[in-house]
Amino acid sequence: MEKSRTIKTDVLVIGAGIAGVMAAIKAGEQKADVTLASCTKIFSGSSFYPGTWGFGLVGPEDKEDEKDFIDTILNVGMGMADKTLVETFVSHITEGIDKLRKYEVPLKEAEDKGAAEFIPCFDHKNRQWNGLLQAGAKEALSKQLEKNHINLLPDVEIVQCFKNKGRMTGALGIHREQGFIRIFCKSIIIASGGLGGLFKYRLNTDDVTSMGQYLAMEMGATLVNLEFMQMMPGYLNPCPKTVFNEKVFRYSEFLDCETKKSIFEEDGTDWERALNERSTHGPFTSRMYSKYVDFRIFRHCMKDERGVTVHYKDALKKNQPEFIKTYFDWLKEKKNLTIEDDIQLGIFYHASNGGIMIDSDAATGVEGLFACGEATGGMHGADRIGGLSTANGLVFGSIAGRSAAEYAKKLDIVETEMEIDIPVVKDAARWIERLRQLNFETAMIFRQDDQIRKTLAEIEEIEQKTKDSTTSMGTDEFSYEELKTSCRLRAILALSKGLNQAVLMRKESRGSHYRADYPETDPEYGKRIVLHNGQTEFEIQK
């Protein structure tokens, strides 16, 4: 790691999913000099995840529908969403979709727009629905990046940020071949995705690390709603980490991998009702009767790593609705699987509803630091309507790009000394995997006091052990992998502690957060939990 280079730019964007790409393009359109960095390729993260057949992009049908959409998002969020952010969000979605069309991004519209299959998860009616096609989106948005002269930094892991006199001044990246990259800038946008890096089983690519949230927190930003996340079924085998289409729940049999018998034995649960209801939404929620389906699948995953076997019924094979047919056509083309093939299913982390706290200008409260996309929290709550993750990246990506560019216009670049401080931890990769296993056991579907406390105690032990095995870093003593993994461990440790503290504090069940020892929603906990300066606490009501 003895090589180095220096970059000067107005705006640095960290993360190259839909949020980061839109932020870079918008900042470029404002005539800012923009650098877009990704720890892997450009067009990455959950926005371009290869394990799904496409991404829904949902918005209000028209201006009159906006109020109902806002009210529904707030209702589904169960008091955990910020009303001002939601209003900003909804009022800009149509504009964002129009912008994609202007960029000639191909969007797939439903042939039967009124079909029940196109009602978004947790919503009560059909909305404006578009399918975002990955290949076409990459091609069209690449042209916009080139048109606006965006400097691309693929395969660069941003591991430190710097500020001077209270404002952001730069960041340090590492590259496998180029070594250290010092980036001096006027503003930074974090668009690095959700908290998938905290979990063993995740429907994300490995570049979704949680590093962005950690960097923001280190700079003084606040995190919010960490305990609320989307957990949903995915393939364990074959084609691991492929997203399961929830619309087929009612048409499927779920079998114990060992006995080949149904996992839904008679126990007083109305399984027909639960499966029908489960077919209306992808992520788990404790709000609905369908929760019993997730409970049963997750229990089997905990006792058998093979999960449960899924076999499709003849009724589905003979008659596939449009949304489901699209799914099986994609499976055949991309995964070489057909409706005749059985799969093994498990429960995975999928997406974060919480993250870096921002305002309606995508500002974090730290001068020169902005954030957007799944790295942020506030525009969603305890549950999130389907199709809004893509819309979130589209809307707040553009807002963050505009805000960061406008902020940068007022300033000069300040070339302060970048003191490289990367404590290298022996066996960092092993500790990361242990933390991911702990979070899977404790912070997924079932959450319970005694298990959470055990996990927090072990996190403290790991923190101490890693301190004991830390080596002070020289400039050329360690490899790229050692430096990268040690930085990721530092982030995962801090955020695992914050996540589990939030889970422990919320002694109730609310949306995606289910406490087995507190199964009911409690009005006393109708406040958001924030993480600031390493301290987790309930937000002070304004």
Q: Give the active site residues.
A: 278
Angle value at C-alpha 23, between 19 and 29, nearest 5 degrees: 145
Q: How far is the CA of 179 from the CAs of 184, 422, 435, in angstroms?
A: 16, 14, 28
Question: What tokens appear for 182 in the block?
Answer: 């010092």
d(CA 244, CA 272) in angstroms, rounded, equals: 19
Q: How far is the CA of 238 from the CAs of 292, 338, 341, 342, in angstroms?
A: 25, 12, 9, 9
- Per DSSP, the three-state class of 17 is coil
Q: How far is the CA of 280 from the CAs of 118, 245, 267, in angstroms?
A: 10, 10, 23
Q: How far is the CA of 541 from the CAs of 84, 527, 529, in angstroms?
A: 15, 8, 11
The terminus-to-terminus CA distance of the chain in angstroms comes to: 48
Q: What angle separates helix 428-442 from helix 449-468, to the nearest 10 degrees?
A: 170
DSSP assignment of 285-307, as one string? -SSSTTHHHHHHHHHHHHH-TT-
Q: Residue 313 — φ and ψ, nearest 5°?
A: -75, 160
- Per DSSP, the three-state class of 502 is helix
Q: In what order do the strands lie in the sheet with 11-14?
A: 151-153, 34-37, 11-14, 187-190, 369-371
Q: How far is the CA of 512 from the CAs of 107, 231, 352, 380, in angstroms?
A: 30, 8, 10, 12
Question: What tokens appear for 121 in the block?
Answer: 């998860």
User: Within 54-115, where are the H helices?
Assistant: 66-76, 83-102
d(CA 390, CA 47) in angstroms, rounded, equals: 7
Angle value at C-alpha 412, between 192 and 35, nearest 5 degrees: 30
What's the burial of 417, exposed, middle or buried (CB within 10 Å: 0-12/13-18/19+)? exposed
Chain-centroid distance of CA 112 in Å reads 30
- Reported as half-sphere exposure (CB side, CA atoms, 13 A), residue 96 has a value of 30
